Amino acid sequence: MALETNDKNFKYDVLDSSVPVLVDFWAKWCGPCRILGPIIDQIGIKSLGKAKVYKLNIDENPVTTEKYKITAVPTVIIFKNGMIHNTLLGVQIEKNYLDALGL
């Protein structure tokens, strides 16, 4: 399962992580986000101990959403050592996300 992060915890959860982190920027009103949700949850299970997987609701977390210039959802960003490593837009197959995480 993917965990939730927010504006308050983003630095600790994502930027300070010693392992790669996948962040799914999503919204409740977004149809493609609902399709992607179960894929992200599966990645969370498959990457346990090797990477972290978080979801961030863009409507509830405007600071982080603006900082990373999220203008379309779903947007998935892979962070490594606190830096953006890769960005994937829209719904993609699970393998693309696992490959981006290096798993």
Provide the residue-wise pLDDT of the chain in tens; the chain has 103 residues.
899 999 999 999 999 999 999 999 999 999 999 999 999 999 999 999 999 999 999 999 999 999 999 999 999 999 999 999 999 999 999 999 999 999 8
Helices 94-101 and 31-46 cross at an angle (nearest 10°) of 50
User: Side chain identity at 79, as an amino acid letter?
Assistant: F
Say what the pLDDT of residue 66 is: 98
Q: CA nearest 55: which of 31, 71, 39?
A: 39
pLDDT on residue 59:
98
Specify the pLDDT at position 93: 96
Catalytic (active-site) positions? 30, 33
Query: What are the residues whose beta carbons fall under 8 Å from the beta carbon of 22, sequence distance 6 or more?
Result: 40, 43, 47, 51, 52, 53, 54, 76, 77, 78, 79, 97, 100, 101
Domains along the chain?
A: 3-101 (3.40.30.10)
